[in-house]
Amino acid sequence: MEMIRIRSSAISHIGYDVISGQMKIQFIQGHTYTYCRVPQLVFDGLFSARSKGTYYDQHIRDKYHC
């Protein structure tokens, strides 16, 4: 999965596999987390969100466990 560098104070890279719905998020502190069965709409929302950290907290955190 290709990881895309993004501009965020909390997140450094994100990646998404359209076929499996798997998403990876790498945080500035270095931790990388994998999320499963993530709808593309959620990934697109994170990618385009003005505040990536707020979007993550509201739409992804504690959801989409593998």
How is the chain split into domains, by residue range?
A: 3-59
Confidence (pLDDT) at 46: 97
Please tell me the distance from the alpha carbon of residue 53 to that of residue 57, in angstroms, as a whole number. Answer: 6
Residue 55 confidence (pLDDT): 97
pLDDT computed for residue 25 by the predictor: 98
| Bridge partner residues of 33 (DSSP) | 25
Contact 12, 28 (CB under 8 A): yes
Q: What pTM was estimated for this model as a whole?
A: 0.91
* pLDDT tens string 8-61: 999 999 999 999 999 999 999 999 999 999 999 999 999 999 999 999 999 999
pLDDT at 51: 95
